[in-house]
């Protein structure tokens, strides 16, 4: 999901950032404000999915750590809000310069990948 072509005034954007921070105060990552408009929409009708964070950026060069991490998401209604709350509950932390969640991309029926930027 990418909606970065939406235009906001600086004031609108700042207000949206503040609202997102109020909704997700414990997030160790920043969330694209465009998600505000779809938080309660279903990401999938499946009840069990996996989300990966691929750590193939320069921040992880030379670090002896797994290059991918996976999050298991189970629920009756897997909305964007639910996924974001689950990532926070499961202590998702990019631990690099790329802390901005730009997208949750479908890879298969039960697999999704996070798109992280700086």
In a domain, residue 26? The reply is yes
- Structural domain span for residue 57: 10-117
pLDDT in tens, 48-90: 999 999 877 776 677 776 678 999 999 999 999 999 999 999 9
Rounded Cα distance between 65 and 22, Å, is 32
In a domain, residue 31? The reply is yes
How many domains in the chain? 1
Rounded to a whole number of angstroms, the CA Rg of the chain reads 14
In a domain, residue 1? The reply is no
pLDDT in tens, 23-51: 999 999 999 999 999 999 999 999 999 99
Could you tell me if 21 and 87 are in contact, meaning their C-beta atoms sit under 8 angstroms apart?
Answer: no
In a domain, residue 2? The reply is no
In a domain, residue 3? The reply is no
């Amino acid at each position: 999901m990418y909606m970065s072509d939406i235009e906001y005034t600086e004031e609108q954007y700042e207000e949206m950032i503040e609202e997102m921070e109020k909704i997700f105060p414990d997030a160790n990552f920043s969330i694209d404000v465009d998600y505000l408009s779809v938080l309660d929409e279903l990401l999938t009708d499946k009840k069990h999915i996996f989300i990966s964070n691929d750590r193939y950026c320069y921040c992880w060069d030379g670090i002896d750590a797994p290059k991918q991490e996976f999050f298991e998401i189970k629920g009756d209604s897997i909305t964007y809000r639910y996924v974001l709350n689950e990532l926070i509950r499961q202590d998702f932390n990019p631990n690099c310069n790329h802390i901005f969640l730009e997208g949750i991309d479908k890879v298969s029926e039960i697999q999704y990948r996070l798109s992280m930027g700086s």
